[in-house]
Amino acid sequence: MRTFSLVAVLGAVVLAMAACGGDDGGEQSTIGAATSASAGTEIPQADVRFAFYPCCGDTSLPAVTIQEGFFEDVGINITPPEGHQYTLSDQIVPSMQRGDFDVAGQFVQGYLQTLATFGQDIPPIMVYDVYLGMAILKAPDNPAKTALDFMDEGMAFPEAAEAAIEQLRGEEVFTPPHGQVQPPYPDVFLSYADMKYPQDLELQFLEDPKMVEVATTPGRMKWAIPYAAPVLVQMIREGWEPVINTAMLFEHDNESKQANRMRELIGNTGLIAQRDWVEANEDAALRLLSAVYRTLDYVQDPETREAGWKIEADLINATQGQKLIPEDIGTIFKEIDPLFGWDDQGPELWDDPDAPYHVPSSMEAQVASLIENKTLPDKEYDLDQFLVAQKLYKRMKALQDEADGLFTEADEADLSGDKAALVERAQEFYDWHDYLDAVRFLKAALAEE
């Protein structure tokens, strides 16, 4: 999912006038400051008001977590039981600004414009994918050539991209209305031919799901720029072809201004939360995140992934009127919305500033872009304070390292009976990425009578 609308932005700003949230996030946050956990053998229960928008593969991920009982396994009781399901992306940010939910799924870059008002009050607490699905498609009966076609004729990629894009000059192109307020992905593509978006196209606005319907009529649409990953993958399955897409840039063009600009625009889906809820319930937040990490394992493990894909496809079809098959969800996760599970979080997202998808670096560039185009006031924004996801990841990683050491102690202690059972239970939590409770149970096992 990569959608937010002008209605949502304006509505959020209006609501912010009555809010006291600001870009400094209030007093210095205590999130992530704890260094360990106390011994324990019970899992506290926590009710969490949870919402998500089941439009896409990444945003529907919590449906798998809920249906497979992963939240319940770590004491998280979702309210309502199936999670509140938004019917429009416009609803997410205003509802979180009102405080309707504790946690919600969201495309993080979709509300950076609120950093000057209330954005710090609803920071991201987890990032689990990157969107590489930006593409301009041509219809099956459109004789135009793709950038790869021009490369096959001997052109280098920049020249091939220029030739491919030039075919769209002044053409009727269908895209959803919210495309106007998305990060300027199409403008990057068009710049290969010194064209401007949207000035050099004749845009026709149509919501993503409707685009699929109209696309079935031969000759009705020649070009399309969809945004929802399920729509993109379904159109490609039905014969539409990328004239140019992000994957082509990253594979064939590592040096151009377009490739560098696209890296700055890459966005992430994950979870956002009420800051005051996280500060008051950090342990519950860690358990909730562990269940989502477990879900990331589930939808990528060859032994379980098809069951997870089916849950998502069925939900998206029911709520969005799509006709996805489970394998489409697998395609989304492989080619359009690559997922970052637990082992990928540090190296890909948080630890290495030179990594292509390093979140703090991309956020800095994106905020700078919003300041440049006057979407945000020109002042300092505390992104370290905003990126609660990084703080929670680091605390979970520290707990994992502590658990590793405690497992070694337990092995050396040669425990038996009830204490050995506690170690086995700790291993179960560890395998679920609930490192908090792995540490708690291990400490209980190693405690002296």
Collapsing DSSP to helix, strand or coil, 31 comes out as coil
| Residues 120, 139 within the same domain | no
8 Å CB contact between 127 and 359: yes
- Residue 1 inside a domain? The answer is no
pLDDT at 342 over 80: yes
Mean pLDDT of 301-309: 98
pLDDT for 304 equals 98
pLDDT for 441 equals 98
- Residue 431 inside a domain? The answer is yes
| Residues 366, 406 within the same domain | no
Note down the domain range covering 291.
6-127+266-393
| Residues 122, 144 within the same domain | no
Domain end: 258, 282, 299, which one?
Answer: 258
Domain end: 241, 258, 275, which one?
Answer: 258
CATH of the domain at 207: 3.40.190.270
d(CA 171, CA 188): 17
| Residues 121, 143 within the same domain | no
pLDDT for 309 equals 98
pLDDT for 181 equals 56
Mean pLDDT of 296-304: 98
pLDDT for 62 equals 98
CATH of the domain at 31: 3.40.190.10
| Residues 378, 404 within the same domain | no
Mean pLDDT of 199-224: 91
> How many CB atoms neighbour CB 374 within 10 A?
8
What's the pTM?
0.84
pLDDT digits 0-9 by tens, 347-356: 999 999 988 8
For the stretch 99-130, what's the b/e string if a residue is b when 16 or more beta carbons lie within 10 angstroms of its beta carbon?
A: eebbbbbbbbbbbbbbbbbbbbbbbbbbbbbb
Mean pLDDT of 106-130: 95
| Residues 253, 272 within the same domain | no
Q: Which of 12-21, 107-116, 283-292, 325-334 has the lowest mean pLDDT?
A: 12-21
183: confidence class by pLDDT, cuts 50, 70, 90: low
d(CA 205, CA 338): 28
| Residues 424, 370 within the same domain | no
d(CA 386, CA 278): 13
- Residue 442 inside a domain? The answer is yes
Domain end: 203, 223, 258, which one?
Answer: 258
pLDDT for 27 equals 55
10: confidence class by pLDDT, cuts 50, 70, 90: very low
| Residues 411, 346 within the same domain | no
Q: Which of 23-27, 199-203, 229-233 has the lowest mean pLDDT?
A: 23-27
pLDDT at 316 over 70: yes
| Residues 316, 167 within the same domain | no
pLDDT at 362 over 70: yes
Q: How many domains does the chain have?
A: 3
